[in-house]
């Protein structure tokens, strides 16, 4: 995992949430982990190909995502319903696209696949790679979420 | 979704399970659905890019996957542990690769991303696409599993 890959994903997450949900989540220190899984109540996952094969995953607690999507849709969301799942898919797509645009600017070309949204209390997402996984934690006033990126 | 896309995924699933787990699952009738989600206790997901962007997802009930992975590893598996998750990742990767090889043979070129494995009782996987989703159900003596494919 190249260090220069960290900022495009971090900045894309901040930028998309600011634009879409008027939200400024506080990023924690990004760290590199070997193995392990992200857990959450809802996750957006999208595959990446091109210069290297990879995967991008955003995992949110229920409280955190209902807060974010309520702000995004301008209407209070009380449950993880179809509208919330679609909005998580849209956020995942936008963060994937914006990250890849930023990577392109520094000379790295990637394509994005179709995102999937996983829902289910405390599910785990494990990236199947022997390589390092970049983990970027974020804090909002309604709870934490995590952005994970891995490349082969 | 082109009709000629169905067989590569169906045949790759049969072939990989036969080779890796000496198992011959019985395929049901593939069908095309609009929206909806697959549910399972463990799923392998991998993004696809190239001629079109897409996603491949395999979702298994707990009983079904423990049966398959026990046969694959030659040792009885009683819980969805790390070894089972890694084996689901490996199956997903192999089915993705074999499907893409079969698609290549009929003139369609695709790349695969890094697979992710989702675990959590009765989680749901929703593909974020307005397009059709190809759903291929399979039956084994220990329960059913489903292979879903979507393209943009």
What pLDDT score does A152 carry? 86
B125 touches chain A (CB under 8 A): yes
Query: Could you say which DSSP state residue B142 is in?
Result: T
Per the CB < 8 A criterion, the answer to whether A150 and A129 are in contact is: yes
Q: In the block, which residue shows the tokens 């009930």?
A: B61
Average pLDDT of chain A, as a whole number: 95
Q: What angle do CA B103, B136, B114 make, to 5 degrees?
A: 55
C-alpha pair distances (Å), B145 with each of B60, B119, B133, B151: 5, 14, 16, 20
B79 touches chain A (CB under 8 A): no
Query: Could you say which DSSP state residue B25 is in?
Result: P
Structure tokens at B16: 């990989």
Strand-pairing partners, residue B34, are B132
Q: Which of A38, A85, A110, A120 to mutate to test the interface with B (most CBs of B within 10 A)?
A: A120
Q: Which of B76, B52, B74 is nearest to B66 (CA)?
A: B76
Residue pLDDT, tens place only, B97-149: 999 999 999 999 999 999 999 999 999 999 999 889 999 999 999 999 999 99
Q: Which of B59, B87, B113 to mutate to test the interface with A (most CBs of A within 10 A)?
A: B113
Q: Which of B139, B132, B152 is nearest to B3 (CA)?
A: B132
What pLDDT score does A9 carry? 97
For chain A, state the CA radius of gyration: 14
Query: Could you say which DSSP state residue B41 is in?
Result: E
Euclidean distance between CA atoms A94 and A92, whole angstroms:
5
Q: What is the pTM of this model?
A: 0.94
Q: Which of A30, A22, A37 is nearest to A70 (CA)?
A: A22
pLDDT over 80 at B22, yes or no: yes
Euclidean distance between CA atoms A116 and A14, whole angstroms:
21
Per the CB < 8 A criterion, the answer to whether A8 and A106 are in contact is: yes
Closest partner CB to B127 (pick from A114, A120, A128): A114
Residues ≥6 apart with Cβ < 8 Å to A90: A20, B128
CA–centroid distance for A141 within its chain: 18
A81 touches chain B (CB under 8 A): no
Q: Kindly determine whether residue A115 and residue B55, on different chains, have CB atoms separated by under 8 Å.
A: yes
Q: Which of A32, A26, A11 is nearest to A101 (CA)?
A: A11
Q: Between chain A and chain B, how many beta carbons pairs sit less than 8 Å apart?
A: 131
Q: State the nearest Cα–Cα gap between A56 and chain B, in angstroms.
A: 9
Per the CB < 8 A criterion, the answer to whether A28 and A137 are in contact is: yes
Q: Nearest chain B Cα to A45, which residue?
A: B116
Per DSSP, the three-state class of B61 is coil
* ipTM summary value: 0.93
> What are the per-10-residue average pLDDT scores of chain A (152 residues)?
88 97 96 88 97 96 97 97 97 98 96 97 94 94 94 88
């Amino acid at each position: 995992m190249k260090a220069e890959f960290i900022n495009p994903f971090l900045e894309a997450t901040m930028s998309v949430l600011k634009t879409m949900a008027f939200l400024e989540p506080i990023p924690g220190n990004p760290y590199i982990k070997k193995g392990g899984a992200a857990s959450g109540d809802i996750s957006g996952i999208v595959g990446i190909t091109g210069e290297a094969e990879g995967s991008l995953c955003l995992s949110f607690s229920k409280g955190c995502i209902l807060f974010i999507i309520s702000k995004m849709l301008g209407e209070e969301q009380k449950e993880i319903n179809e509208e919330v799942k679609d909005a998580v898919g849209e956020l995942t797509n936008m963060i994937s696209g914006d990250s890849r645009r930023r990577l392109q600017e520094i000379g790295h070309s990637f394509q994005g696949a179709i995102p999937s949204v996983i829902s289910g209390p405390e599910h785990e997402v494990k990236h199947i790679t022997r390589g390092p996984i970049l983990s970027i934690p974020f804090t909002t006033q309604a709870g934490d979420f995590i952005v994970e990126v891995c490349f082969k």
